[in-house]
Amino acid sequence: MSTATDRRAPDDQVVPGETFTPPGGRSGRDALSEMSNPHRARAVKDVVARVVMWAAFALAMVPLVWILGTVVAKGFHMLTTATWWTGNQRNINSDDFGGGARHAIEGTLQMVGFTALIAVPIGILTAVYLVEYGRGRLAKAISFTVDILSGVPSIVAALFIYAVWVTAFGFSRSGFAAALALVLLMIPVIVRSTEEMLKLVPNELREAAYALGVPKWATVVKIVLRTAFSGIVTGVLLGIARVMGETAPLLILAPYTKNFQRDLFNGNFPTLPMMINQDRGDFALATAAERMWGAALTLILLVLLLNVIGRVIAHFGAVKK
């Protein structure tokens, strides 16, 4: 790669003390040094472009540093309080300090775990269909709808589940209903990442299995999926991380509670995003703001932890050629 883009390499061959004139035009650096050179404008443009690209990257880093910096600076001391990892928010009002986040952490983990339980098999099987079986119209249609599903806004997914679960079936809002909405958001992520991984499995492995008379299903299950296993796990973890921070479905479908609550099917359900949302109206109060930042930091840490684990697994378990 570097030889392709490094257009300065020939310059290094100039013998000191000798004037070197490139046969065609001149490269940017030469032109810059000679004011009379007609290619000066081009060279200036080149330098300007270079500066703009670096500046754009620096600009993109500003919000990242700012957001992470603020969250850590304002939220970290909450994570070191005694009750944060053990208690809940029971009887704690906006103007009270602290309280615990354990109910929300457990709730979030339980909800995304349940979501993954439904979404992962569907997602992986769909990817298996697309890569190993699918051909023609049906496969095209499925691939297209997966794209559409990945573009469905979370609020629309939530409205759909509301329309089915609450309006049509008459159930009440619950953690389970929110998990169903998260399933819709998670499926396309799992399908796409699994698909990529299955495509990386060398055909020789499949051919070898077929040549030995292994049935197709066993080839897929025991050879293809096993080879791609670590990549699939990575995709699943990234998918979980993705839905973990989703708030819109929770807002519509799973009202928050400040208490411990393990029951996904009845009553309100505590989650980290909703814990942040709870104090939204009182963000001017220092105690409420602190709690929001603390919960935000906890949520980011959970998401990052999943991302890191996912990438480590991807790194050590990549498909070998």
Residue span 93-132 as binding mask against other proteins, x where in contact by CB under 8 A, dash where not: ----------------------------xxx-xx-xxxxx
Write each residue from 256 to 295 as x if it is in contact with other proteins (CB under 8 A), else as -, in one continuous string: -----------------x--xx--x--x-----x--xx--
DSSP 77-98: HHHTSTTTTT---TT--TTS--
**Of 13-21, 24-32, 81-89, 109-117, which part binds other proteins (CB under 8 A)?**
24-32
Question: Please, are residues 179 and 264 in contact by the beta-carbon 8 Å criterion?
Answer: yes
Instruction: Please report, as residue ranges, which positions from 189 to 228 form the binding site for other proteins (by CB under 8 A).
Output: 189, 191-193, 195-196, 198-204, 206-207, 210, 215-218, 220-221
Please tell me whether residue 54 binds other proteins under the rule CB under 8 A: yes
d(CA 50, CA 113) in angstroms, rounded, equals 46
Q: Report the sign of the C-alpha dihedral through residues 256, 171, 248, 281, in that order.
A: negative
Q: How far is the CB of 14 from other proteins (least distance, A)?
A: 17
Return the number of the residue (262 or 305) whose C-beta is nearest other proteins: 305
| Minimum distance of other proteins from residue 88's CB (angstroms) | 20
Q: Closest approach of Cβ 17 to other proteins, in Å?
A: 25
Number of residues counted as binding other proteins (CB under 8 A): 125
Asked if residues 116 and 239 have their Cβ atoms less than 8 Å apart, the reply is yes
57 binds other proteins (CB under 8 A): yes
Backbone angles phi, psi at 284, to 5 degrees: -75, -20
Which of residues 226 and 262 has its CB atom nearest to other proteins in the complex?
A: 226
Burial (0-12, 13-18, 19+ Cβ within 10 Å), 2: exposed
Does 242 interact with other proteins (rule: CB under 8 A)? yes
Cβ burial 35-67 (10 Å sphere, 16+ → b, else e): eeeebbeebeebeeeeeeeeeeeeeeeeeeeee
CA atoms within 13 A on the CB side of 57: 5
**CA–CA gap between residue 197 and residue 231 (Å, rounded):** 6
- Judged by CB under 8 A, the residue of 98, 100, 188, 270 near other proteins is 188
41 binds other proteins (CB under 8 A): no
265-to-174, 178, 179, 256 alpha-carbon distances in Å? 6, 10, 10, 14
Stretch that binds other proteins, among 2-10, 11-19, 84-92, 258-266 (CB under 8 A): 2-10
Give residues 128-187 in contact with other proteins (rule: CB under 8 A). Answer: 128-135, 138-139, 141-157, 159-160, 162-164, 166-168, 184, 187
